[in-house]
Amino acid sequence: MKDVSEIFGSMVFNDKVMSERLPKDVYKALKRTIEAGKSLDRKIADVVACAMKDWALEKGATHYTHWFQPMTGITAEKHDSFISPKSDGTVIMEFSGKELIQGEPDASSFPSGGLRATFEARGYTAWDPTSYAFIKDDTLCIPTAFCSFGGQALDKKTPLLRSMEAINKQSLRILRLFGNYDIKSVTTTVGPEQEYFLIDKELYEKRKDLIFCGRTLFGARPPKGQELEDHYFCAIKPRVKAFMAELDNELWKLGILAKTEHNEVAPAQHELAPIYTTTNIAADHNQLTMEIMKKVALRHGLVCLLHEKPFAGVNGNGKHNNWSLKTDTGVNLLEPGDSPSENAQFLLFLTAVIKAVDEYQDLIRLSVATAGNDHRLGAHEAPPAIVSMFMGDDLLSVLEAIESGSAYVQKNKQEMQIGVHVLPRFFRDTTDRNRTSPFAFTGNKFEFRMPGSSLSVSGPNIILNTIVAEQLSLFADILESSDNFQTDLLNLIRNTITQHKRIIFNGNNYSEEWVKEAEKRGLLNLPSTVDALPYFVSDKNIRLFEKHKVFSEQEIRSRYEILLENYCKVINIEALTMLDIARKEIFPAVMSYIRDLSQTAILKSQLIPDISCDMEKTLVDKLSALCASFYNKTEMLSNALLNTKSQTDLYKCAKYYKETVLAAMRETRAVADEMELLTDKKYWPFPTFSDLLFKI
Ligand code: ADP
Ligand code: MG
């Protein structure tokens, strides 16, 4: 194997390549564009495009594409070759600045939530120079934003970039108040931990539910699940190890900082964590990571499942979104500092996040709301649907001391007086862990654990960036007009803690008591997507997004519609798949088994007239009853699906899917799973959970 440092980034048109291949003045102009978000001159763009093309051709590329992230949640690409005809019947390879900067895919079939009437279907893609171009499958990919000609965002990248700009602006206002004039920009950083399952491809192909829905719709619990906790961090099997090695290699080529690979809690479940980077790039990289995981798995005869809940009864897949703020001078703003002044600044940012999460629980919750994630949130292993924050005992006692104005006593250390001018100096306690919290402070960053594994991280980070930007802007409004900074600062921190401490919960988020306690505290509990989504279009939230120029009202309403529509479509596909499997596979299989059991009883009594056939009769009786019930349930499901056609209101339709269709699906499944346990394995028409989870 080649040296990793040689492989790393070898398929990326990164800063090193640019500085080597571009004329000095062009390189400088491009850097200015990247750093200051300035628009790029066409002449410069031509030079950059030409250098990019030459580099790509050397690497074997034949095509280029504007790579973008429409509202489908996955990425899109339309390949164009570099060829350009010459008069002598030959071709040359060309790529212009115009082609680099802007593209016009015929994008009429992407979800737009009514934003883009089909008569003006053309959207355009615009180069995002803050994310490097790269080569994938012999194609030069140019990361781009995707907008309508009216300027409305049709993708996930545009609002993410806008939200990063919003938090940059407001953070700088705060930093100036602390005398930090050397800092020119603040970016948010993200490290998304990606969970996934690997199963055998041959088995996968025998299950229509996995093929169409990415999750199993039927399946009885195997005798062994994850209760022994013997899969978590255990030695990695050779086939999986080979997959991980190749995955790392592919990701490194694309400059993706794949770092940690390990087995997760459920059998056949694994995790990959990269080293964190700027949010925009982390989002691009995570999309690529998911795509490449699937591709590499196939080369190993495996299928990678990224669904939030591929198997009932064992853990689902999450994507922990580790999030922090970093200055261009390299300071992590969520790192407790060494001096009281640094700590005051830290506490101000920290309380801004606390206030943001408390005031916008609805947005936090709905930022991770999908049909798939509904199966995971609130299940036992996953964070509940109630948003709360974990602070760790040490930090919590600091906050309590500030609030009450009393002395702060650190564990086994000296006590510290909290005066008006001096905020406490404290040390972070890295041993603190709370695996059940949906939003945990982990020493120098927050770990948001609610996102589902297949989700683009853009959604949750757009929300996080915007709601924190809002609090920072309110804080800056107060402090900028203050005559007594120290006093007002302390009061602000103190009042914020008092008003928002209800969101802090260090206990067990999975417990029943917490649900009751949270209700007492007035916290929101939005168990499903349908409960959460309407909050997107509340006046308060529309005002928020408009104030920070992250979404226009029109964009919010269109996204709301896309999300609701997607929810309905996903459940519709699942229900149809379920009916298909039930009628064409499960029902005939169980009937065959019943017939053979009956045949056995008849043959036995022909051979020995008085022999007992009680066992066969009992089993035939049981299975026949289950089959009858199964038939009724499928009819019920089928009728429920028919009724969705008469729903005219999108929200009501989604609610109907949740309350009626999903309920019918659950009942149908329960009967099938019971039959599976009673049916001879050789009759069962597809691989069981035991096969899928334990045969790698
Ligand atoms: P754990 O499983 O204990 O939560 P991991 O090492 O699996 O820890 O994941 C931690 C993730 O947090 C990594 O992706 C890491 O790069 C990321 N991370 C660390 N510091 C920051 C930061 N300042 N901002 C964003 N992400 C961070
Ligand atoms: Mg982790």
Which numbered atom of ligand 1 lies nearest the CA of 275? Answer: 16
Whose CA is closest to atom 7 on ligand 1?
A: 273
**378 C-beta closer than 6 A to ligand 1:** no
**189 C-beta closer than 6 A to ligand 1:** yes
Spatial CA neighbour of 37 closest among 124, 166, 170, 151: 166
Q: Which ligand does the CA of 445 lie closest to?
A: 1
Residue 560 forms part of a structural domain = no
Whether 541 and 625 share a structural domain? no
**Tens digit of each residue's pLDDT (9 = 90 or more) over 355-380:** 999 999 999 999 999 999 999 997 76
Q: At 61, is the pLDDT very low, low, confident or very high (cuts 50, 70, 90)?
A: very high
Residue 236 is which amino acid?
Answer: I
Mean pLDDT lowest for which of 68-82, 429-443, 543-557?
A: 429-443
What pLDDT sits at residue 410?
Answer: 63
Q: At 226, is the pLDDT very low, low, confident or very high (cuts 50, 70, 90)?
A: confident
Tell me how far CA of residue 68 lies from CA of 72, 102, 145, 283, in angstroms: 11, 12, 6, 12
Whose CA is closest to atom 11 on ligand 1?
A: 191
Tokens of 160: 């993410």
Whether 604 and 510 share a structural domain? no
**275 C-beta closer than 6 A to ligand 1:** yes
Residue 138: which CATH number? 3.10.20.70
Residues 279 and 621: their CA atoms lie apart, in Å, by: 60
Which numbered atom of ligand 1 lies nearest the CA of 326? Answer: 23
**324 C-beta closer than 6 A to ligand 1:** yes
Q: Where are the beta strands (DSSP E) in 156-200?
A: 186-200
Question: Which H or E element spans position 143?
Answer: strand 139-148
**Are 574 and 581 within 8 A, CB to CB?**
no
**444 C-beta closer than 6 A to ligand 1:** yes
Whether 132 and 181 share a structural domain? no
Q: Which ligand does the CA of 322 lie closest to?
A: 1
End residue of a domain, out of 522, 551, 580: 551
Whether 625 and 577 share a structural domain? yes
**446 C-beta closer than 6 A to ligand 1:** no
Q: Pairing between strand 186-200 and 269-274?
A: antiparallel
Whether 472 and 517 share a structural domain? yes
Domain tally for the chain?
3
Residue 426 forms part of a structural domain = no
Residue 558 forms part of a structural domain = no
User: Ligand 1: which of 260, 272, 281, 322 to mutate, most ligand atoms within 8 Å of CB?
Assistant: 322
Whether 450 and 492 share a structural domain? yes
What pLDDT sits at residue 420?
Answer: 43
What pLDDT sits at residue 589?
Answer: 98
Whether 462 and 577 share a structural domain? no
Residues 445 and 467: their CA atoms lie apart, in Å, by: 16
Which numbered atom of ligand 1 lies nearest the CA of 190? Answer: 25
Q: Which residue in this structure is represented by tokens 């694994």?
A: 270
Question: Which H or E element spans position 141?
Answer: strand 139-148
Tell me how far CA of residue 272 lies from CA of 217, 226, 286, in angstroms: 26, 20, 10
**Tens digit of each residue's pLDDT (9 = 90 or more) over 15-50:** 999 999 999 999 999 998 888 767 788 899 999 999
User: Ligand 1: which of 193, 251, 257, 436 to mutate, most ligand atoms within 8 Å of CB?
Assistant: 193
What pLDDT sits at residue 141?
Answer: 97
Residue 420 forms part of a structural domain = no
Residue 346 forms part of a structural domain = yes
Whose CA is closest to atom 1 on ligand 1?
A: 193
Q: At 644, is the pLDDT very low, low, confident or very high (cuts 50, 70, 90)?
A: very high
Which numbered atom of ligand 1 lies nearest the CA of 324? Answer: 24
Whether 183 and 273 share a structural domain? yes
Whose CA is closest to atom 17 on ligand 1?
A: 191
**332 C-beta closer than 6 A to ligand 1:** yes
Q: What does the angle CA 663 – CA 387 – CA 557 come to, to the nearest 5 degrees?
A: 70
Q: Is 576 exposed, middle or buried (0-12, 13-18, 19+ CB in 10 A)?
A: middle
How far does the centroid of ligand 2 lie from the alpha carbon of residue 188, in Å?
19
Which residues have a Cβ under 8 Å from the Cβ of 437 and sit 6 or more positions away? 383, 388, 389, 390, 449, 505, 506, 509
Which numbered atom of ligand 1 lies nearest the CA of 257? Answer: 16
Judged against a pLDDT cut of 80, whether residue 575 lies above it is answered with yes
Which numbered atom of ligand 1 lies nearest the CA of 192? Answer: 14
Residue 540 forms part of a structural domain = yes
Judged against a pLDDT cut of 70, whether residue 407 lies above it is answered with no
**274 C-beta closer than 6 A to ligand 1:** yes
Q: What's CA 281's distance to the chain center, in Å?
A: 14
Q: At 223, is the pLDDT very low, low, confident or very high (cuts 50, 70, 90)?
A: confident
Q: What's CA 565's distance to the chain center, in Å?
A: 19
Residues 597 and 614: their CA atoms lie apart, in Å, by: 11
Whether 483 and 499 share a structural domain? yes
**Tens digit of each residue's pLDDT (9 = 90 or more) over 64-118:** 999 999 988 889 888 999 999 999 999 999 999 999 998 887 767 778 777 755 4
Whether 547 and 587 share a structural domain? no
**CA dihedral over 452, 194, 160, 116, signed as positive or negative:** negative
Spatial CA neighbour of 229 closest among 257, 191, 267, 201: 267
Residues β-bridged to residue 272: 194, 261
**260 C-beta closer than 6 A to ligand 1:** yes
DSSP 468-519: HHHHHHHHHHHHHT-S-HHHHHHHHHHHHHHHHGGGB--S-TTSHHHHHHHH
Spatial CA neighbour of 291 closest among 306, 308, 278: 306
Q: Which domain holds residue 671?
A: 567-694
Residue 176 forms part of a structural domain = yes
**193 C-beta closer than 6 A to ligand 1:** yes
End residue of a domain, out of 155, 184, 203: 155
**Are 505 and 389 within 8 A, CB to CB?**
yes
Radius of gyration for the alpha carbons in the chain, expressed in angstroms and rounded: 28
What pLDDT sits at residue 419?
Answer: 45
What pLDDT sits at residue 380?
Answer: 67
Residues 134 and 66: their CA atoms lie apart, in Å, by: 11
**Are 534 and 379 within 8 A, CB to CB?**
no
**190 C-beta closer than 6 A to ligand 1:** yes
**Are 577 and 208 within 8 A, CB to CB?**
yes
Helix residue spans in 539-586 (DSSP H): 539-547, 553-581
**273 C-beta closer than 6 A to ligand 1:** yes
Reported as half-sphere exposure (CB side, CA atoms, 13 A), residue 171 has a value of 29
Which residues have a Cβ under 8 Å from the Cβ of 141 and sit 6 or more positions away? 64, 65, 67, 77, 133, 134, 135
Reported as half-sphere exposure (CB side, CA atoms, 13 A), residue 32 has a value of 12
Residues 464 and 471: their CA atoms lie apart, in Å, by: 11
Judged against a pLDDT cut of 80, whether residue 591 lies above it is answered with yes
**Per-residue 3-state assignment (H helix, E strand, C coil) for 11-67:** CEECHHHHHHHCCHHHHHHHHHHHHHCCCCCHHHHHHHHHHHHHHHHHCCCCEEEEE
What pLDDT sits at residue 322?
Answer: 97
How far does the centroid of ligand 1 lie from the alpha carbon of residue 136, in Å?
27
Whether 236 and 366 share a structural domain? yes
Whether 178 and 134 share a structural domain? no
Judged against a pLDDT cut of 90, whether residue 283 lies above it is answered with yes
Residues 214 and 495: their CA atoms lie apart, in Å, by: 47
Q: Which ligand does the CA of 331 lie closest to?
A: 1
Residue 293 forms part of a structural domain = yes
DSSP 320-381: EEEEEEEETTS-BTTS--SSHHHHHHHHHHHHHHHHHHHHTHHHHHHTT--HHHHTTTTSTT
How far does the centroid of ligand 1 lie from the alpha carbon of residue 397, in Å?
24
User: Ligand 1: which of 285, 434, 445 to mutate, most ligand atoms within 8 Å of CB?
Assistant: 445
How far does the centroid of ligand 2 lie from the alpha carbon of residue 509, in Å?
17
Residues 64 and 81: their CA atoms lie apart, in Å, by: 6
End residue of a domain, out of 155, 176, 196: 155
Residue 522: which CATH number? 3.30.590.10
Residues 691 and 205: their CA atoms lie apart, in Å, by: 13
Neighbours of 570 (CB within 10 A): 18
Q: What is the pTM of this model?
A: 0.94
**187 C-beta closer than 6 A to ligand 1:** no
Spatial CA neighbour of 77 closest among 92, 61, 96, 88: 61
In the three-class reduction of DSSP (H, G, I as helix; E, B as strand; rest coil), residue 259 is classed as strand
- Mean pLDDT (whole number) for 191-217: 98
**535 C-beta closer than 6 A to ligand 1:** no
Whose CA is closest to atom 5 on ligand 1?
A: 273
In the three-class reduction of DSSP (H, G, I as helix; E, B as strand; rest coil), residue 317 is classed as coil
In the three-class reduction of DSSP (H, G, I as helix; E, B as strand; rest coil), residue 79 is classed as coil
- Mean pLDDT (whole number) for 570-596: 98
**Are 8 and 255 within 8 A, CB to CB?**
yes
Percent of the chain residues topping a pLDDT of 70: 94
How far does the centroid of ligand 1 lie from the alpha carbon of residue 321, in Å?
8
Mean model confidence pLDDT for the chain? 92
